[in-house]
Amino acid sequence: MFPDTDPAEHQLELYMIKLDTLINQAMESCTFRGHTMGQWQKDPQQGRAYSNCLVCGAQATVNVDPLPNGIDICGAALAMHCAGG
């Protein structure tokens, strides 16, 4: 597919694209619920990231490859309105 690209490097790039997409989706939900999210802490090798609301501390988490019974976007910041606003 990409002869000059290391397959592991290409896989990491795909994970980062999906991770960023999930973060954007999570941010839409958090913003809708009135949260002011801090910097996202990314772990590209694990395909995960999380952020906390700067006002109430509620967390949002994304996971590129959740367990079979898991979900890819979760956390209190996605489910409840900001307690500080």
* Per-residue pLDDT tens over the stretch 19-58: 999 999 999 999 999 999 999 999 877 889 999 999 999 9
Question: Is 66 part of a structural domain of the chain?
Answer: yes
Question: Is 84 part of a structural domain of the chain?
Answer: no
Average pLDDT, integer, range 9-27: 87
| pLDDT of res. 11 | 75
Q: Could you write out the three-class secondary structure of 41-78? A: EEECCCCEEEEEECCCCCEEEEECCCCCCCCCEECHHH
* Per-residue pLDDT tens over the stretch 55-70: 999 999 999 999 999 9
Question: Is 34 part of a structural domain of the chain?
Answer: yes
- Count how many domains the chain has: 1
Domain that holds residue 46: 7-79
